[in-house]
Structure 1
Amino acid sequence: MFNIVAFLSGLIFGIGLILSRMADPAKVLNFLDITGNWDPSLAFVMIGAIAVGLVGFYLARKRPASLLDTPIQLPTATRIDKRLVLGSSLFGTGWGLAGICPGPAIVTLSAGMAPALIFVISMLFGMMLYRWTFHA
């Protein structure tokens, strides 16, 4: 049952990325181009996602386990440190250069787009490099 719910959740997330056009690098780059051809429409998508997330986290904090009776693992870190700032900066730089981030990259990859393949391979390499460097 857990795998079915996980699959359906991912499918709904992917459809949401497609419908909102967050999987379209050109749309994302226009959103990030605040001094040129700025398109603020993705801000509304993000605000909606944050609102849903806030409700979800609020409800999750009040439960001992998920609806599927699996442990709820909420973040425990509360301070902003050098690793968080560096990681966020790298993520934002990659997002700004490519116009895509990990979730939409997987959606775009399923459409068979070559740039998405390069992005996902690079992302996986970066994840392995992090693991080899900090968790070896």
Structure 2
Amino acid sequence: MHIVISVLVSLFVGLLFGIGLILSGMTDPAKVLGFLDLAGNWDPSLGLVMGGAIAVSLLAFRVAAGRKTSLLGDVMRLPKSTQIDRRLVLGGLAFGAGWGLAGYCPGPALASLASGSAKPIIFGVAMLAGMVIFEVLEHLSAQKSYTSKANARR
């Protein structure tokens, strides 16, 4: 029964998030690109959307940080690292470049898939390809690190 409730709550929260993205204009690449175009016809309205999301997230993370379990009883798994490293910076740059080129980030792209338009489908495929490439590179890096450590012990 717990699994059914967890799935239903997840479905509700996902639908609420998707509807919020649609209503706020985050699924419209032209609106997003207008927000990112600081030198042209800048549209600051998405800044309010992001500000609201950040405020809600700050509150939610503060509450979550003081809990050992979620409201549904699952173990809380919050990020522990606060380090700004090369991987974080490069990932942020790649995310920002993709957002600026396509006008989508992952959430709005997924919500836009329902439109049947080719652009969010192409973005989704490219995003999945990037995730696969990342996993392959991580696996190869881990293998290389393991091999070099094993050779150093000999």
Same fold (TM over 0.5): yes
Structure 1 segments, 4+ long, off by >6 Å, are: none
Q: Which residue of 2 aligns with 1:3?
A: 7
In the alignment, which residue of structure 1 is the partner of 2:39?
A: 35
Relative contact order higher in (CA < 8 Å, ≥ 6 apart): 1
The question of 1:61 aligning with 2:65 is answered yes
Give the equivalent residue in structure 1 for 2:82: 78
Name the structure with the higher helix share. Answer: 2
Identify the residue that residue 144 of structure 2 maps to in structure 1. Answer: none
What SS class does the counterpart of residue 72 from structure 2 fall into? Answer: coil
Q: Give the structure-2-normalised TM-score.
A: 0.87
Letter in 1 for 2:130: G
Matched, 1:135 2:134: no
Residue deviations 1:89-131 (CA, integer Å, cap 9, x gap): 0000010000110000001111111111000001001101111
Letter in 1 for 2:37: D
Aligned equivalent of 2:145: none
* Aligned counterpart, 2:123: 119
Tell me, what secondary structure is at the counterpart of 1:12?
helix
Unaligned regions of 5+ residues in structure 1, if any? none
Q: Which runs of 5+ in 2 are unaligned?
A: 141-154
Equivalent AA in structure 2 for residue 86 of structure 1: L
The size of the alignment, in residue pairs, is 136
% same residue: 55
Q: Any idea what SS the aligned residue of 1:135 has? A: helix
Match of 1:91 in 2: 95
TM-score by length of 1: 0.98
Match of 1:12 in 2: 16
Question: Which residue in the other structure is 2:110 paired with?
Answer: 106
Distance 2:94 2:115 in 1: 26
SS of the residue 2:74 aligns to? coil
